[in-house]
Amino acid sequence: KPFSPFCVSDSFDPNIPEEGPSAPPPGWLEDIDGYQGHKGGERKRESEKRVVTFLVPSISEDVARDALLRFVESKWKYSSKPARNLTFKDLKPVTVYRYRLETYTETRTSAWQLEPYNGQAVDGPQYGASPPPWDIPVSPPQMYSNRVEKIPVPHSSFVKVCHKCHGCGRTRCAGCFGRGMKRCSFCHGNGRARKKRCTSCHGRGRRRCVSCRGDGYKTCSVCHGAQKLLHFIQLTVTWCVYPIHGFPDQEICDVSAKLINDHLYRFTSTSRILQQVRAYLLTLSGLLGIRES
């Protein structure tokens, strides 16, 4: 509306409510069967246990010496003479395992969401009961790729009057208390500053509220003027890869069992394990004898 800086009348509409809370108050939302206090699902799938065996080839002295010389050449401070003159007293194969366990998990959590209602379709309880979180079909991404997908839970939607504006579509401006005018901060409402008429408010002692542009009200920040809200439960599905790398000191089977149990304990409280991959990396080295002087 047009505004004159010399206007002295304050507009106040008592029918416009004050701003309410941005979140729905307790008891405002309906209970959906199977989603009371739901935060995450729980499922697990045991990984397949297999015994992995390796054939360790023998290493000759020439191969061991060549490997040692190549290692010495990579270190510019090392001398190659000890490696060339080294006498092998004993050469034993040593097997070193590197074990890696990757767990691919799917986590499902749910929470109430809302959006302005503008006549869109409402999939409410009248169409049936909401399925449990793990029964909702969701297309998984490519295996071992991180991804987050959010979908509404079927039959969990309903429409209610906006809790913040009480269905008015606008709320009273808290800056001017719905008056549209505020006391001039330059002259403190006197209309005069330094014995002259205030140039900021033109001597009126009040200025238009910049928060509401002189209207005395603002469009509701929750329903955006729609007056009604569509509430629904949103299911968040998270696929994630959790790698663990270990260099076991004891038997590889014992470490493998410990890592798998740790993963099950860590992830199955809120997730279901889709797949676990165990990778073995075998390296061979030799135990070289002392060099004769």
Q: What pLDDT, in 10s, does the model give residues 215-236? A: 889 999 999 999 999 999 999 9
123 contacts 156 by C-beta, under 8 angstroms: yes
Amino acid present at 48: E
Q: What pLDDT, in 10s, does the model give residues 151-198? A: 999 999 999 999 999 999 999 998 888 888 998 988 988 888 888 889
Residue holding tokens 């809370």?
21
So what's the pLDDT on residue 54?
55
Enter the tokens of residue 38. 């739901």
Q: Is the pLDDT of residue 245 over 70?
A: no
* DSSP three-state, residue 262: helix
279 closest CA partner among 104, 97, 54: 97
Q: Is the pLDDT of residue 3 over 50?
A: no
The top-scoring range by mean pLDDT among 32-36, 144-148, 166-170 is: 166-170
So what's the pLDDT on residue 95?
66
So what's the pLDDT on residue 287?
42
Q: Is the pLDDT of residue 274 over 70?
A: no
H or E segment at 131?
A: none
Q: Is the pLDDT of residue 62 over 80?
A: yes
Contacts of 52 (CB under 8 A, 6+ apart): 280
Q: Is the pLDDT of residue 149 over 80?
A: yes
pLDDT-based confidence at 2, cuts 50/70/90? very low
The three-point CA angle 98-242-142 to 5° equals 110
Half-sphere exposure of 133 (CA within 13 A, CB side): 26
Residue 191 DSSP one-character state: S
10 contacts 215 by C-beta, under 8 angstroms: no
* DSSP three-state, residue 209: coil
Calculate mean pLDDT across residues 88-114. Answer: 78
Backbone angles phi, psi at 133, to 5 degrees: -55, -40
Amino acid present at 53: T
Mean pLDDT of the chain: 76
Is the pTM for the entire model greater than 0.75? Answer: no
What is the rounded CA–CA span in Å between residue 253 and residue 62?
33
So what's the pLDDT on residue 78?
85
So what's the pLDDT on residue 223?
95
